[in-house]
Amino acid sequence: MNTPVAPPTGANSLRTGPNERGRFGEFGGRFVAETLMPLILEVERAYNAAKADPGFDADLKHHLTHYVGRPSPLWFAERLTKHLGGAKVYFKRDELNHTGSHKANNCMGQILLARRMGKTRIIAETGAGQHGVATATMCALFGLPCTVYMGATDVERQAPNVFRMKLLGAEVKAVTSGPATLKDAMNEAMRDWVANVTDTYYLIGTVAGPHPYPMMVRDFQSVIGEEAKVQMQEAEGRLPDAAVACIGGGSNAMGLFHPFLDDTSVRLIGVEAGGHGIETKEHAASLTGGRPGVLHGNRTYLLQDDDGQILEGHSISAGLDYPGIGPEHSWLHDIGRVEYVSATDQEALAAFQLCTRTEGIIPALEPAHALAYVTKLAPTMDKDQIILMNLCGRGDKDIFAVAEHLGVKL
Amino acid sequence: MSRIAAKFAELKRQGRGALIPFLEAWDPDQATSMALLRGMPEAGADLIEIGMPFTDPMADGPIIQAAGKRGLAAGVKVRDVLTMVRAFRVADNETPVVLMGYLNPILSYGPERFCVDAAAAGVDGLIIVDLPTEEADLLLPFSNANGLDFIRLIAPTTDDERLPHVLNGSSGFVYYVSITGITGTRSASAEHLAAAIPRIRKATDLPIAIGFGVRTPEQAGSASRIADAAVVASALIDTLSANLDPNGKALSGAVEKVLDQVRGLAAAVRGHTSAQTDGAIAR
């Protein structure tokens, strides 16, 4: 049974956002230049029409099942559970998706929308390269030209993914402005979009950006939580006690959490990138170490200085070092529904190795942050309790970076 | 009457459009940008636009990005931009000054406090690139209460149906972003402007300024006649950045070179050159 659970519509539901202005509480919105405003409104209209069209849903399901490879399995990590000596740990195996991460869920949804809108060129930003690879893949599948913006720093530390994108036929543009990471790639993608308004679709990779992107990307990623909910029932006959996911922009976490928002028995825990440690200021933990502001089209928690200038995020993971976070996370943080914690580079590296050796799964450095927190949380819980963790990406792309951190020459 | 309204009324009597040169605050340092600001009215600026540096200027091309980066490296803060205007107002109480920037530094400063302090410093209008009409209620009550014009941007993508919505509650002048693109990259064609400006005129009585892609005296002269004002930014910053030493310090004569360029632009706007090539905005 993979039938998604129908979202509740009651007034007490936490799943009804955003409002008509694209706000989750005071977060979100549409803070873009006037040149882009009509385009954003067009995307919103097109997405709402697609959502109401059973044909679109059927097309998406077909592609998710037969191309992306959904549903992804739910795996009881038995050896890891024994090692930690506490709650049972389950992995939602989104690293088994085509292209190796949860990014495929969103890319498939948006590319079908872009085709429906008659757009003939796709642009995207990428940090670790996972979203860039997923976008380049869908573009190859549908024969659309693709340009991926990637910070020059990330181009260097994610060379395998850069090569994959090029193999897939995408043009990879290295962005040298600012600290040359994900936020700068997003700036440059927006500049491209402003200059190519008629034919180009901007395929944003996370639950950030102007409305309707945070909502749309969340909807496409919610397949993760919908499936997991059903699979947990099958495996254990009940919901988990805690669901854990890593957060950069926050799309895999939003996809896991959203279907559980109204299930108050389930603790929801987002793990931000603690970098060298929150106290060092070299981190990417927007909720733990930032304050609300406006960047990339939405109002959300941001890493910024006293004068509102955006600070550089730091993480061992190129997919997490974004100075912002999706606006729905900011809201869930402020109302207290989701707990947000952080894991450092070193903790993530340790979890990366633990997962590889106990479960035979090389995780991406991003979910290694989630796992780092799970290794702290599980031992504090009873053995009959359950933790569900989203293993949102595989770590092949990271082996070079990890080798370097471990002092191994390849 | 506000300084902006008074200026456009005066120019209407003179039968010409306005030149609005741009400078980035503290590019490359406080003294240089202050000298540029002070020198601009005498060089022929009718209004002046001051850019407020931001780390992530999404609507700007490489030239203005670099200018903002230099300003930030020099240590400029929001309050320093206001201080510049206050210092300028000691000797000039007529030339309208408009601040152009992005929302986050203003939010961080506090929208209400910013509008109070900006008005007190002698600022006349605000252009906030990433604050479209849909989100304007974040600032509009405070700009209105303090007599600051909240200048709206109109783009080629703004269709007839959307125009009245975007212009609702606007004041000062209307800024027409003449290309779909970022600053300092390309220029609009004469045909495009000849169609676009009358379309906007039907929707507003406010003066219309053309910006993005106005670089040469010919283009400025032409834009100021097709519309009511021409904004020149990247071309002036190009000149300034070409006159910096390897450490980013302004070479002697740098300010004069930029002001000379303003004089050339002003002459064209005032119709004093042979370049009366109406309509030839771009090549």
Mean pLDDT (chain A) is: 95
Residue owning tokens 């070179």: B257
Find the distance separating the first CA and the last CA of chain A, reported in whole Å.
44
| B107 contacts chain A (CB < 8 A) | yes
| A20 contacts chain B (CB < 8 A) | no
pLDDT at B278: 43
Ramachandran angles phi, psi of A174, nearest 5°: -80, 125
Percent of chain A having pLDDT more than 70? Answer: 97
| Contact present, B190 and B280 (Cβ < 8 Å) | yes
pLDDT at B279: 41
- For residue B163, give both structure tokens: 């125009």
- Position A11 confidence tier, pLDDT thresholds 50, 70, 90: low
pLDDT at B70: 97
| Contact present, A249 and A237 (Cβ < 8 Å) | no
Taking CA–CA distances from A323, the nearest residue in chain B reads: B56
How many helices, marked H, and strands, marked E, lie in chain A?
A: 16, 14
Q: Is the confidence at residue A256, as pLDDT, over 50?
A: yes
Contacts of B109 in chain A (CB under 8 A): 307-308
pLDDT at A112: 98
> Which of A34, A195, A196 is closest, CB to CB, to B132?
A34
Q: What is the 3-state secondary structure (H, E, C) of A113-143?
A: HHHHCCCCEEEEEECCCHHHHHHHHHHHHHC
Beta-ladder partners of B10: none
pLDDT at A177: 87
Contacts of B185 in chain A (CB under 8 A): 195
pLDDT at A9: 53
DSSP state of A363: B
> Which of A37, A194, A294 is closest, CB to CB, to B180?
A194
| A190 contacts chain B (CB < 8 A) | yes
Query: In this complex, do A307 and B132 lie within 8 Å of one another by their Cβ atoms?
Result: no
| A1 contacts chain B (CB < 8 A) | no
What is the rounded average pLDDT of the residues A53-58? 98
Could you list the mean pLDDT of each consecutive 10-residue stretch along chain B, which spans 283 residues? 96 97 98 98 98 96 96 98 98 98 98 98 98 96 97 96 93 95 88 93 97 95 96 98 96 98 98 51 38
Query: In this complex, do A307 and B185 lie within 8 Å of one another by their Cβ atoms?
Result: no
- Which A positions 102-161 lie with beta carbon below 8 A of chain B? none
Nearest to B130 by CA among B153, B161, B162: B153
Amino acid in the structure at residue A338: V
Query: In this complex, do A33 and B58 lie within 8 Å of one another by their Cβ atoms?
Result: yes
> Which of B77, B107, B153 is closest, CB to CB, to A293?
B107
Our CA-based measurement puts residue A292 at a distance from the nearest CA of chain B, in whole angstroms, of 9
Biggest CA pair distance of chain A: 57
Contacts of A296 in chain B (CB under 8 A): 56, 58
Q: What is the pLDDT of residues A130-139, one digit of tens each?
A: 999 999 999 9
Angle subtended at Cα A191 by Cα A204 and Cα B52, rounded to the nearest 5 degrees: 115
Q: Decide if the complex's ipTM is over 0.90.
A: yes
Choose from A27, A191, A291 for mutation: most chain B CBs within 10 A. A191
Q: Is the confidence at residue A410, as pLDDT, over 90?
A: no
Q: Is the confidence at residue A1, as pLDDT, over 60?
A: no
Our CA-based measurement puts residue A303 at a distance from the nearest CA of chain B, in whole angstroms, of 12
Among positive and negative, which fits the CA dihedral B253, B258, B264, B267? Answer: negative
pLDDT at A3: 47
Q: How many angstroms separate the Cα of A353 from the Cα of each of A157, A170, A371?
A: 19, 32, 11
Q: What is the pLDDT of residues A216-247, one digit of tens each?
A: 999 999 999 999 999 999 999 999 999 999 99
Nearest to A390 by CA among A284, A285, A253, A213: A253
